[in-house]
Amino acid sequence: MAKTGLYLFTQDLRLSDNPLLLRAAQENDYLLLVYAVDPNHFKPKAFSLKRLGQHRWRFLLDALDELNHRLRGLNQHLQLLFDQPLRGLSQLIDQHQVGSFYISEQVGYYENQLIKHLQARFTDLSIQQLNTQRIWDLDEIPFSLSQLPGTFTQFRKQVEQLKIESAFEPITELPPSPKQGSLGLQELPNSSQATQPLTTGGEVSAQAHLAEYFSTDQPSTYKQTRNALQGRFQSTGFSPWLAQGCLSPRQILQELANYEASKKANESTYWIFFELMWREYFQLYALTYGARLFHFQGIQGRKPLTSFYPQRFKAWCEGETQWPLINACMKQLKATGWMSNRGRQLVASCLVNELQLDWRYGAAWFEQELIDYDVGSNWGNWQYLAGVGADPRGSRHFNLEKQAALYDPDGDFTRLWQGDATSGVPLYSVDAADWPFLSSGSE
């Protein structure tokens, strides 16, 4: 009897360095290639924010379109499932009598809940997973998840000397899709509101950027330029493609090793690896702590002295605070779906410390807006900065005036994004009895 498998693409939208897709191709006579788009991700959730905003949706659509084009070259195609994933996938499994279900190892709590529900519903279904998103497989690291080091430094010291496997070659052959009942393209939300795209999604675009970056001398000065608020190649720029899996960390590290062997190895080139280890740590962090990644008290069980003030949050989101550099960063994010790493630290510190807001709202805003949103890195970093995560020293409080003098001394970035175009929403207004109340907007 012919074997039919279903491969669910998630954060692995590529044909190269994809060992799980290779396994699925080898084990089946027919193969369904599916990407599930949950309609609920376009609706406001607990924080009155969407899980999937226009910028990330536009980048994701680029990546899906490019993946489908490449699959067509192998006589296959991508089927977009615009439905609640459990319901839609269950229908496909029943309809095609799927025997094996393939999905990359997930680090997100909700993604792993989906896998558990599918296994409970289809007890005979073989669910197969491999690591396609991290540098190391779980059996390669020298500790169990229950013993994940409590700080990044402890983690780094245990893993930085580990062997890094070579990336897999691109897949050149796939079994056909089942003919009957093929899922057609469905009506999807548009991305017309994404006004200033910085780059395009997809594996081809990712590989082009990878090659171009390592053809320059920028890797040799990365540590000195990585905190720049803006500028092509000041940082590596890999994160949007990493987040969607158009590019793997092993592919980056392979090119980095080639660069160091042929051009130069120094502290800056090491720092590229250093930053990828941070990403690795937060991937394992998300997998270890599950739903606690989203808790107000974080993994520390420590309640920040913050609350929620709608007026302040709105001002922060719109870039209408009292701090011009914060405004510029937030306006850049809203216009492009991107913000520098330094900018992210500063706006997070502002939200938690100056505005005294619940850090989860900031994390949820980033989830909606960032094209490089990644569940582990985003929520893990916000916990870190709010003092409830993997930093025993507590929250990180930046002096915003000092940071502006260091990273935007001439005000060029602030002027570019019109950060000083508003006098800022006051933190408090008062009534006739001089009691503070929260105003509904700017005054």
| Cα 344 to Cα 327: distance, rounded to the nearest angstrom | 12
| Cα 270 to Cα 300: distance, rounded to the nearest angstrom | 31
Q: Which residues contact 94 (CB under 8 A, 6 or more apart)?
A: none
Q: Strands 126-128 and 100-103, how do they pair?
A: parallel
Contact 93, 125 (CB under 8 A): yes
| Cα 193 to Cα 47: distance, rounded to the nearest angstrom | 21
The values of phi and psi at residue 116, to 5°, are -65, -40
- Residue 372 among known ligand-binding residues: yes
- Residue 235 among known ligand-binding residues: yes
| Cα 63 to Cα 203: distance, rounded to the nearest angstrom | 7
| Cα 174 to Cα 8: distance, rounded to the nearest angstrom | 15
Joined tokens for residue 166: 């070579």
Please choose, from the candidates 201, 402, 409, 422, the residue with its C-alpha nearest in 3D space to the C-alpha of residue 331: 422
* Tokens 């084009």 belong to residue: 69
- Region for 97 from its dihedrals, namely left if φ exceeds 0, alpha if ψ lies in -120 to 50, beta otherwise: left
- Residue 374 among known ligand-binding residues: yes
- Residue 236 among known ligand-binding residues: yes
Contact 183, 92 (CB under 8 A): yes
- Residue 201 among known ligand-binding residues: no
Contact 212, 251 (CB under 8 A): no
- Residue 238 among known ligand-binding residues: yes
- Residue 358 among known ligand-binding residues: no
Annotated binding-site ranges for FAD:
222, 235-239, 372-374
Give the annotated binding-site residues.
222, 235-239, 372-374
